[in-house]
Amino acid sequence: MPTIGWRERLALPDLGIDIVKAKIDTGARSSALHAFDLEEFQHDGRRWVRFSVHPQQRNTHRTIVASAELIDIRAVRSSSGQSQLRPVIQTVVELGGKHWPIELTLTDRDAMGFRILLGRQAIRRRFLVDAGRSFIGGGPSDAIAAHRAERSQPS
């Protein structure tokens, strides 16, 4: 199995997020994405949720508005022991040249160091985690190149 570090860059292409820094957390069962302005709506007779994401920590200028089918609302216990009802969506994640579907809970992670927490269910049977290393999984190659090009453009 390929190895990833405790933090990696990944993409959520179905949500329009080409690159986001993630914390890989084997202590967390589920994965969570920082989302705000959540709005539930009906689409083709199904429940969907529209939400906004700031994919870069400490950068509120770039906002991505995404939507996905709402697959559940679950009680999730945070690391502080608080239980919170969270919307759950399914989307594709791209990391280390691999793509696969994961479930994500949507929550306010604004005060956290990472916009996304990738829990053990998302990486199970796909990667080994080297807790002493960072950014070794390769990340989403096209997204990293696009991000670098975007940063190098004059403002």
**pLDDT tens, position by position, for the chain (155 residues)?**
999 999 999 999 999 999 999 999 999 999 999 999 999 999 999 999 999 999 988 888 899 999 999 999 999 987 778 898 999 999 999 998 899 999 999 998 877 889 999 999 999 999 999 999 999 987 665 444 544 445 445 54
CA distance 84 to 74: 8
Q: Which tokens sit at 50?
A: 């529209």
Per-residue confidence (pLDDT) for residue 113, from 0 to 100: 80
Per-residue confidence (pLDDT) for residue 143, from 0 to 100: 45
**All structural domains of the chain:** 3-152 (2.40.70.10)
21-to-33, 77, 134, 153, 154 alpha-carbon distances in Å: 11, 23, 11, 21, 23
Q: Which amino acid is at 144?
A: I
Q: Is 138 left (phi over 0), alpha (psi -120 to 50) or beta?
A: left
The pTM is what? 0.86
Give the closest residue to 33 by CA, choosing from 95, 92, 143, 109.
109
Per-residue confidence (pLDDT) for residue 72, from 0 to 100: 96
CA distance 10 to 95: 5
